[in-house]
Structure 1
Amino acid sequence: MNLKSSFFDRRVKTRINHDDDLASESLAEELLTIIPKVTSRPIVIVCIGTDRSTGDSLGPLVGSLLEEKNLKSFYVYGTLDEPIHAVNLAEKLQEIHIKHVDPFIIGIDACLGRMKNVGVIQLGNGPVKPGAGVNKELPAVGDIHITGIVNVSGFMEFFVLQNTRLNLVMKMAKTIASGIYEASLLYPKQRWNDLKWLDEEQTN
């Protein structure tokens, strides 16, 4: 759980309200602009959090929803059955790097922010930093990140997380998972077109 509000984070590229009519489509489009196209690096999604806290369950909910969709283009780690959290984060990251050569990692986590931004999904460059708001030294995760602002920061964050509405977290998780799924369907075609264009440029 990244307790730090990232509202003023300059790394954030896009902010999308989870309940916008085209939220998942917008997330998919923006995700495809930031994922490397001409690359052999596997795309790995690391969903961080635990179902022991409602607010912190965003990551594993996204992971489980993606697991059900059986993605063909991306690899997913961190689900309700096998969550990735503070206790096992370093170990799981090590396993991922052993299994995948030079992976391009998308880190997914919940965060807290301003009242008016609760429900906003953020996509940006750089990693998520789990535990930053509670002074825990945990590894940063991701070449890029997707975070969801699930509640308000600034006071008794642990209790705020415990009292976050599951309804909101579930809706945000569904939007994020749908956006990633749509991107996964378009990614192979987009990557093929870019590789073909690069090959033609080199030939000419």
Structure 2
Amino acid sequence: MSPLTNPFSQQQQQPSSLKIPHTDPEIHSAIIHRLLFHLSQVKEGQPVIIVCIGTDRSTGDSLGPLVGTSLSRYNSHLFRIYGTLDDPIHAVNLQETITSIHELFHQPFIIGIDACLGQSASIGCIQVADGPLKPGAGVNKQLPPIGDIHLTGIVNVGGFMEYFVLQNTRLSLVMRLSEIIASSLYSAIKEWKSHSTYFALRE
């Protein structure tokens, strides 16, 4: 058996994003692996903030708050959550939330979560990508970008009558996507933190 090495010290070249159907049997491991790669960017002591964008007033746009609510049930000290069904982050309070985060936390590593619209063949896919989330782009809103990395769930087809499409998105799909994102994200952060702590103790 080879000696243990720190997986987060190996900056391997990987594609800039992952896109995978929610029906893929390997989806959890694929998302966790991708997130671990991105979490390698987090510096020691840097707070991890998860911002889940959306509203419970629209089925398709409820993905973010559903993820935030699921994550909040873990009561984890490993990250801070903004955006739940009870306290959603949306177009009206997004800028205020961003300002508050940067006032409260020093150099936070922010993970953005949101629903998005796409091509019909991509409905039900989950994406993990480097760089900021651009909320509101699918419904032609100009909102501030947020996130060092982001995850999105493609909940319906885009290109026409976006508000109507979001309102008529199947809740079962949104729930399934939110469950996958929340469980994978929690598992990835927990694994990353345990590895980081282990190798910090060895050094």
Q: Secondary structure at the residue paired with 1:28?
A: helix
For 1:135-146, what aligned pairs fall within 5 Å after superposition?
A: 135-146=140-151
> Which is further off, 32-41 or 164-173?
32-41
Q: Does the Cα contact within 8 Å between 1:90 and 1:139 map onto a contact in 2?
A: yes
1:23 aligns with 2:27: yes
| Distance (whole Å) between structure 2 residues aligned to residue 112 and residue 174 of structure 1 | 18
Residue 53 of structure 2 is aligned to residue 33 of structure 1? no
User: 1 CA distance for matches of 2:139 and 2:25?
Assistant: 35
Gaps of 5+ in 2: 1-14
Higher RCO (C-alpha 8 Å, min separation 6): 1
Q: CA deviation at 1:22?
A: 2.9
Structure 1 stretches (4+) deviating beyond 3 angstroms?
193-197
Distance, in Å, in 2 between the alignment partners of 1:133 and 1:115 is 14
Following superposition, the deviation at residue 150 of structure 1 comes to 0.3
SS at match of 1:160: helix
Specify whether residues 71 and 24 from structure 1 end up closer, same or farther in structure 2 by C-alpha distance, changes over 3 A only.
farther
Q: What amino acid is aligned across from residue 115 of structure 1 in structure 2?
A: S
TM (normalized to structure 2)?
Answer: 0.87
Corresponding position of 2:3: none
Mapping of residues 1-204 of structure 1, within 5 Å: 12-35=16-39, 36-195=41-200, 199=203
Task: Describe the superposition over 1:64-95 as per-residue Cα deviations: whole angstroms up to 9, x where unpaired.
Answer: 00001122311111000000000000011111
Tell me which amino acid in the other structure corresponds to 1:67: S
Q: CA deviation at 1:132?
A: 1.9
| One-letter amino acid of the structure 2 residue matched with residue 26 of structure 1 | A
Letter matched to residue 130 of structure 1: P
Fraction of identical pairs, as percent: 53
Contact 1:37/1:191 (CA < 8 Å) preserved in 2? no
Contact 1:48 1:85 in 2 (8 A): yes
Q: CA deviation at 1:99?
A: 1.6
* TM-score under structure 1 length normalisation: 0.86
CA distance in 1, matches of 2:16, 2:166: 22
Gaps of 5+ in 1: 1-10, 200-204
Distance 1:23 1:72 in 2: 25
- Change in CA separation of 1:114 and 1:135 when aligned onto 2, cut-off 3 Å: closer
Higher mean C-alpha displacement, 184-193 vs 79-88:
184-193
What secondary structure, in the 3-state scheme, does the structure 2 residue paired with 1:69 have?
A: coil
Of stretches 33-42 and 69-78 in structure 1, the one that deviates more from structure 2 is 33-42
Query: Please, which moves more after superposition, 169-178 or 179-188?
Result: 179-188
Tell whether the 8 Å contact from 1:38 to 1:195 is kept in structure 2 after alignment: no
Asked if 1 retains the 8 angstrom alpha-carbon contact of 2:114 and 2:153, the reply is yes
Question: Displacement of 1:144 after TM fit?
Answer: 0.5
Counterparts of 2:43 and 2:107, CA distance in 1: 14
In the TM superposition, what is the alpha-carbon distance from 1:41 to its structure 2 partner? 1.1
